Every structure is written in C-alpha cells, then in structure tokens.
Chains A and B, each alone.
Chain A
Amino acid sequence: DAGVIQSPRHEVTEMGQEVTLRCKPISGHNSLFWYRQTMMRGLELLIYFNNNVPIDDSGMPEDRFSAKMPNASFSTLKIQPSEPRDSAVYFCASSNGQGASYEQYFGPGTRLTVT
C-alpha cells in the first residue's frame, strides 16, 4: 500500500491567494483527519470525517478554511484567502475506524508558506 498521499509537498503562496491541499487516504479506511502543526501550537486537529461525513470541525480556525470529502478516496482542505499566520505543516491522516480508538496513519505533510 502506498500509504496516505498528500499533495503538494511544499506550497509557497502570497497573502490573499487561495490554497488547496489534497489528500488520498489509505484504501479501505473510513476516517480521515486534517491536522496543522506549528512550533507554537503543536499538532492541532482541524476537522475529521467518517464515511465522508464531517464529524467534528471545531478545530477549523475560521471561515477562511473549508474541507471537503467528495468520496472515500479524496479530500481537500482549502484556505481562501490565505494569510501569513496560516504558514504551517498540514497533515492528513486516515484510520480504519471512527474516533480515537484506532491508530492513525499520517501522510508526509504539506509545508505551506504564505508570504
């Protein structure tokens, strides 16, 4: 199995631009998670889906962030408009079960820099 796939691996954009991050979970996994990691705040859960349905989006910082999961094999995290404080590493993870009782498999992350 290829593991969780994220693209792009690196993204540099200017403030105000739209950014779209993509994730392909492990085939057969039914939960997908988006995290953000910064030195200051550590690893934060932004949103998670179960069977393509958003379960908890309380970690989404503000309306500029949106996430979709149109099918079991694809999810996007969009930031519009982007701001310098959005600079972070964004991870996607998937698991074969709902919630926190299952191990999560992380992708390699997307390093986002907003100038």
Chain B
Amino acid sequence: SQQGEEDPQALSIQEGENATMNCSYKTSINNLQWYRQNSGRGLVHLILIRSNEREKHSGRLRVTLDTSKKSSSLLITASRAADTASYFCATDAYSGGSNYKLTFGKGTLLTVNP
C-alpha cells in the first residue's frame, strides 16, 4: 500500500515558471526521497531528505520536509521542457525485524510547455 500521496496528480506550466509538487504521508518516517520518471524509462533518484532535516537543495531543486504535518514539497525553479516527467515521493515503511522498505506514491505528472 502507498504511504505517500502526491498532489496534484497532474501539473502543466510554461517553461521558466516554477513547479511545486506536494507529498503527504501517514506514519512517521526516517527519510523521504523524490524520484523522477521520464516516459518509458526507469526512475531516477533526485534527492533524499532525512527526518531531522527541514530543507535541502540540489541545483534547481528544493525539497522541504515538515514532519509535524507529515508532508514534503518539491520545488523545481526555472522549469525547462526537459523537466517534463512524473515525479514520485517515496517514504520508508517498516518491513519487519530491523528492515525498512521504500513505498512510492502514484506520482505527479509535470508537463512543461515550451
């Protein structure tokens, strides 16, 4: 079952605009990851943020984490047509013993129009 849920399901913007995607989850986490998937391809890791971090940057990406609200956001600044993809958040879920596994949301489909 999915732990994280992305919002919105789909987002369409113009090149140069910023894109914000949100992720909400239900149970406490150790970390949260964001991935991108281009059509017909495998997922590519973007960024990992730990539960004791509030914000993280990587290039044009900015991720925030609010553990009190059980939510995260991914901001892509100055978007490009090449950013068109589906974006997924993934949270760790207890897997038994001392093990955890990643569970993925259903993703946000971002379309950046040139």
Report which of A4, A45, A103, A108 forms a contact with B101, defined as CB distance below 8 A: A45
Residues of chain A in range 59-115 having any CB-CB distance to chain B below 8 Å: 91, 93, 98-101, 103-109
B contact residues, range: 20 to 34
Cβ–Cβ < 8 Å partners of A107 in chain B = 42
Indicate which residue in A45, A56, A91, A103 contacts B33 across the interface (CB closer than 8 Å): A103
Write the chain B residue with the least CB distance to A109: B42
- Nearest CB in chain A: distance from B41 CB, A: 6
Q: Which residue of B lies closest to A6 (CB)?
A: B42
**Chain A binder among B14-22, B73-81, B92-100:** B92-100
The secondary-structure label for the interface of chain B is: strand
Contact in complex: B95, A55 (CB < 8 Å): yes
Contact-size category for A = 20 to 34
B73 to A: closest C-beta gap in Å = 19
In the complex, A100 Cα to B103 Cα: how many Å? Answer: 9
Question: Does B113 belong to the interface (CB within 8 Å)?
Answer: no
Which residues does chain B contribute within 8 Å of A100, judged by CB atoms?
30-31, 33, 90-93, 100-102
The reply on B62 being an interface residue by CB < 8 A is: no
- 8 Å CB contact of A43 from B31, B33, B99, B104: B104
Contact A103 B43 (CB under 8 A): no
Which chain B residues have a beta carbon within 8 Å of chain A's beta carbons? 2, 30-31, 33, 41-45, 48, 88, 90-93, 95-96, 99-107
- Tell me the A residues contacting B by CB distance below 8 Å: 4, 33, 42-43, 45, 48, 50, 55-56, 58, 91, 93, 98-101, 103-109
21 inter-chain pairs at a CB distance below 8 angstroms, sorted by A residue, are A4-B42, A33-B102, A42-B106, A42-B107, A45-B101, A45-B102, A55-B99, A58-B96, A91-B42, A91-B43, A99-B101, A100-B30, A100-B91, A100-B100, A101-B30, A101-B92, A105-B45, A106-B42, A106-B44, A108-B42, A109-B42
